[in-house]
Amino acid sequence: MSATILIVEDDAVFRELVATILDKAGYTVATASDGGEGLRRIQRECFDLVLSDLKMPVRSGLELFRATRSEPTPPLFIFITAFGRVDEAVAAIKEGAYDFLTKPLKDPASLLTTVKRALEQVDLERLSVSLLETEQAGLPPENLIYAGRAMENIRKLVQDVARTTATVLLHGESGTGKELIARMVHLASPRKESPFIPLNCAAIPENLLESELFGHERGAFTGAVQARRGKFELAQGGTIFLDEIGEMPALLQAKLLRVLQERVFERVGGTLQIKVDVRVIAATNRDLAVEVTEKRFREDLYYRLNVFPISLPALRERVDAIPQLVRYFCARYSTSVGARRPIGVSAEALALLQKHSWPGNVRELQNIIERGTILARGEITCNELPQVLLEQRTPADTSEGMLKLREKEAIGKVLLQFKGNRRQTAEVLGISLRTLQYRIKELGLLVKEEV
């Protein structure tokens, strides 16, 4: 994770130790020798996180923290304190600091773990700030829509077809984001300034669907007290999105085929032919080729719709996107429950989320995170997840299993840093060589020491 961290510490030796650990972990590090210098740097520069001693000359850590709260985007704070001053650190947390560490450091891994979790919190808070803009635009951030390696090709297909007028057929399970992709095609097209009109064919009663699509004239049926334009007229010059197209009744399939072929239609109860310039994007969770074979869907309409097919992957095929989606939904729903800062998800809970098969796909994940933010008292843990996820737990998913996994990752990272040199690794971790060798064996680490 790329981030800029300021270390404010009057003990030069300890300051350089912390700076070295963070620098080797890939962070951009700046330092200040007292609270006064720290405040000046914060006012001049932009930092994601501040690690500050509590007791310092010029300004104490707590005074520095309070002074930065008036900044437009104040950085997150982690305090470093001696055992005897823990009460002050706890008081600082009550005022909004993220966490505290005690001197001397237990080991580099504990420092890096705390820093990583704090920076994840920074990401959540930034996401919350931009959330209003993206919600007003009607779409989540583009990098979220295309999150996960399985979506890389989808992004390319959208970009390729958007600049054309070709009809698009989206296929995917319920909850995979078919309407989002349809909107992305529209927004990337020359029609983006014109309307995008969605219609769920399964949500409208059969006797009303024709009127919804093509409009009706006054007196066309009981209750038609005035003429009304349909979705195709409303979408003139833009895009119409026909969701669940496989649910469209046979009579309307024939009328839709005519619109696609001739670009004309009549309102219900009318005789005037209305010309229309509309880009059609259809979507289905059914296999329309099978529907055609079983005579439930017109073959000629299928080929008219299937000009440019795009098949969206299920969430179980996008497991690498789940952490990013979870952060987004946490930020989105934290505001609705009045949380002071965005609610996060524990490592154990996230592991269970990544193991689930997600029959409801992204929509199901969204609902679970919304429920979790309502129940959570700090962060979403396994206690706030539905029973169906808890039943999938294995011994490795328990807290003990997660701790071992984190330990394995931490030791492995330092070993890699020193190219497998166990003696150097043990020194940095603050453990004996014998203990390190025992942990390597117990955790099943593969170590190849470079000569």
- All domains of the chain, ordered by start, with CATH? 4-136 (3.40.50.2300), 142-313 (3.40.50.300), 320-394 (1.10.8.60), 399-443 (1.10.10.60)
Q: What predicted TM-score, i.e. pTM, was given to this entire model?
A: 0.64
Share of residues in the chain with pLDDT > 90 (%): 47
Q: Among 78, 10, 9, 11, which Cα is nearest to 48's?
A: 78
Give all strands (DSSP E) within 83-194, no chain letters. 99-103, 168-171
Q: What share of the chain is helix, strand, coil (3-state, %, to 5)?
A: 50, 15, 35
pLDDT given for residue 418 in this prediction = 78
pLDDT given for residue 2 in this prediction = 62
Q: Among 170, 140, 146, 160, which Cα is nearest to 242's?
A: 170
pLDDT given for residue 406 in this prediction = 66
Q: Among 126, 204, 192, which Cα is nearest to 163's?
A: 192
The answer to whether residues 130 and 136 touch, using CB atoms and an 8 Å cutoff, is: no
Instruction: Write the pLDDT tens digit of every residue in 118-127.
Output: 888 877 766 6
pLDDT given for residue 416 in this prediction = 80
pLDDT given for residue 123 in this prediction = 74
Query: Phi and psi at residue 229, in whole multiples of 5°?
Result: -80, 145
Instruction: Write the pLDDT tens digit of every residue in 365-416.
Output: 999 999 999 998 878 988 899 988 888 776 555 555 555 666 677 787 788 8
Identify the bridge partners of residue 242 per DSSP, sorted by sequence position. Answer: 199, 282
pLDDT given for residue 112 in this prediction = 92
**65-79, 80-94, 405-419, 429-443, range with greatest mean pLDDT:** 65-79
How confident is the model over 80-102, as a mean pLDDT?
Answer: 80
Query: Which of the residue ranges 70-84, 106-120, 177-191 would you say has the lowest mean pLDDT?
Result: 70-84
DSSP secondary structure code for residue 312 in this structure: P
Whether the link from the prior residue into 190 is cis, omega within 30° of 0, is no
pLDDT given for residue 199 in this prediction = 94
**pLDDT beyond 70 at 95:** yes
Half-sphere exposure of 312 (CA within 13 A, CB side): 27
Instruction: Write the pLDDT tens digit of every residue in 190-233.
Output: 998 888 999 999 999 988 999 999 998 888 887 777 778 889 98
Q: Which residue has the higher pLDDT, 91 or 315?
A: 315
**pLDDT beyond 70 at 271:** yes
Q: What is the DSSP string of 66-113?
A: HHHTTSSSPPEEEEEEEGGGHHHHHHHHHTT--EEEEESPS-HHHHHH
**pLDDT beyond 90 at 93:** no
pLDDT given for residue 84 in this prediction = 61
Q: In this structure, are strands 274-275 and 264-265 parallel, antiparallel, or unpaired?
A: antiparallel
Q: Among 183, 232, 258, which Cα is nearest to 170's?
A: 183
51/29 Cα distance (integer angstroms): 10
**pLDDT beyond 70 at 340:** no
The answer to whether residues 92 and 63 touch, using CB atoms and an 8 Å cutoff, is: no
Q: Which residue has the higher pLDDT, 449 or 25?
A: 25
